[in-house]
Amino acid sequence: MKIFKFLTKSAICFAVSTGFLSFSANAQKKAVNLTDPEIASIAVTANQIDIDYAKIAERKSKDANVINFAQTMAKDHQSVIDQAVALVTKLGVTPKDNATSKSLKAGEAKTIKLLDSKSGKAFDKAYIDNEVGYHKAVIKEVETALIPDAQNAELKSLLQNVLPVLKSHLSHAEMVQKEVNK
């Protein structure tokens, strides 16, 4: 029982410290649907956060697999941002800050603090573990909130096209995670 409590506490601490619970703000308030400007803000923020993490990994890691993965994250998420910004500009939608995007930024600050405190193999492990958890959380949010709530058909289609990219990133992250944990 004590072990169970300890594991539960540890899991919660880890999730909070690495920002996995950042999406819970919206998950808990799912009764309120997101508007397109709010979805645009969440999409851009979530992608930018992963670019920020990637830049730290490119700077700190010495592991070729981790660096290669981080470079892919930086390029792919920038490509998604560029296309999202082009679309919302065309649609005349101005991204609007909301509880989820604010929660994401708060989670990012905690994760960056954690990543900055690590080095060597411990950093690689913290970075890639966070990538696995972060992508799982983002995929869930896109599937259960962003796509269902999107009103504009083009915005909904863009989010549907982002999903396979995120799922491929998750598989890639899990591959690298196995290597890092060897």
Partner 1 sequence: MKNNITELGIKLLLLFPVLFLFSCHSSDQQNAENHNSTDTITIQQMQFIPASLSVNKGDTIVWINKDMVDHTVKEEKSNGFYSDTIHVGKTWKMKATDSASYDCTIHPTMKGKIVIK
The residues binding partner 1 (CB under 8 A) are 72, 75-76, 79-80, 83, 161-162, 164-165, 167-168, 171-172, 175
Q: How far is the CB of 68 from partner 1 (least distance, A)?
A: 9
Rounded to a whole number of angstroms, the minimum distance from the CB of residue 84 to partner 1 is: 9
Smallest gap from residue 142 Cβ to partner 1 (A): 13
Of residues 32 and 86, the one with the C-beta less far from partner 1: 86
Q: How far is the CB of 105 from partner 1 (least distance, A)?
A: 24
Residues with Cβ within 8 Å of 160's Cβ and at least 6 positions away in sequence, in order, are 147
Largest pairwise CA distance in the chain: 56
Q: Look up residue 99 and give its amino acid.
A: A
User: Quick one: 161 or 181, whose CB is closer to partner 1?
Assistant: 161
Contacts of 48 (CB under 8 A, 6+ apart): 77, 81
Spatial distance between the Cα atoms of 96 and 89, rounded to a whole number of angstroms? 13
Q: Which of 27/87 has CB closer to partner 1?
A: 87
Residues in CB range of 94: below 8 A, 6 or more apart? 37, 40, 88
Q: Please say which residue, 60 or 172, places its beta carbon nearer to partner 1.
A: 172
User: Which is nearer to partner 1, 33 or 78 (by Cβ)?
Assistant: 78
Closest distance between partner 1 and the C-beta of residue 171, in Å? 5
Distance CA(115)–CA(146), nearest Å, equals: 28
Kindly give the residue spans of alpha helices, DSSP state H, lying in 22-119. Answer: 24-28, 36-60, 64-91, 99-116
Compute the distance between CA of residue 31 and CA of residue 154 in angstroms, rounded to an integer.
24
